[in-house]
Amino acid sequence: MSLRAALFSLVSGGLLVAGCSKKVEPVVTPPPVETTTPTPQPPPPPPPPPSTEPTCEQVITRMVSELAALVHFDTDKFDIRPGDATVLDGKASILQSHPQVRVRITGHADERYTAEYNLVLGTKRAESAKSYLVSKGVSGGRMETASLGETAPLDPGHTEAAWSRNRRAEVSVIAGRSTLASHLARCQ
């Protein structure tokens, strides 16, 4: 019998007692259950062990940042490179085990290609990442795509290194963030 059921029967008993004395003037004293009955107190939640077990919020934050890990692309390309497929595999498993999470995948381009077509390139990169996740079993309906083209560079530099950082897809959580720790019983 669970603790909750035990408490319920005790409360019911108290009400039953009150029901028996219904011809008496209303009693204004607090219900006996809470004042007189020695109730077994539920054990206080154990303080989280400082280093070994993260809080639920810490778990959520870690999941969000793993989902946000950048996927990069070659110049003027939008196919998923093998190394980036691994990054997406990590996202796929998080999304599969947290079915209430919805994400937006935003594609970006570097400044070297032409401005307006960079919006298309960003969309193609986002769609490419989405297709990969769908191939790993994530429902397409949980993912929306967007593009910021070259308008939001991570690195404002004009070097090859800056450009390769800027050719990317970003995954952000747009719904169900609080369920990202639900795989842990203590965070449900």
Partner 1 sequence: MRRGLLLAVVMWFPSFTNAAAQDTTRAVLQLLYDNPQVRPTLVVVPVAGLDSVRTIVERDLDQSDRFELILLPMVSQPIEPGALNLAPYRAMNAELALEMVPAGGALVTVRLYDVATGLIRNEGLMAVDYTGTGEGRMTIHRLSDEVVRWATGKVGIAATRILYVLDNRVWLVDADGYGPRPLTPAGRTAYSPAWSPDGRRFAYTELADGKGYVVLQSLTSGNRVVLPGTEQTMNITPSFSPDGTHIAFSRVMNGAYALHKADVTNLCCAERLTGGRFAENLSPTYSPDGRRIAFVSTRAGSPQIYVMSSDGTNQELLVPFDYGITGASFAPEWSPDGLKLVFHRSMGSGFQVLVFDITSDRVRQVTSEGRNEDASWAPDGRHIIFTSSRSGGRQLHVLDLETSRVRRIPTPGTAQLATWSPRLSGAP
Which residues sit at the interface with partner 1, rule CB under 8 A? 104, 106, 114-117, 119-120, 123-124, 127, 144-149, 151-152, 174
Evaluate whether 63 touches 177 at the Cβ level (below 8 Å): no
**Is the torsion defined by CA of 24, 26, 31, 36 positive or negative?**
negative
CB of 16: closest distance to partner 1 in angstroms?
57
6 or 152, CB closer to partner 1?
152
**Is the torsion defined by CA of 46, 49, 53, 59 positive or negative?**
positive
Strands 71-72 and 168-175: antiparallel
CB of 174: closest distance to partner 1 in angstroms?
8
Q: CB under 8 Å to 48, separation ≥6 — which residues?
A: 54, 55
128 or 182, CB closer to partner 1?
128
CA 167/CA 12 separation, integer angstroms:
65
CA 77/CA 113 separation, integer angstroms:
11
59 or 91, CB closer to partner 1?
91
Question: Which residue type does 168 have?
Answer: R
CB of 88: closest distance to partner 1 in angstroms?
17
CB of 78: closest distance to partner 1 in angstroms?
11
84 or 150, CB closer to partner 1?
150
10 or 148, CB closer to partner 1?
148
Question: Which residue type does 59 have?
Answer: V
CB of 89: closest distance to partner 1 in angstroms?
22
Run of H or E residues at 148: strand 143-149
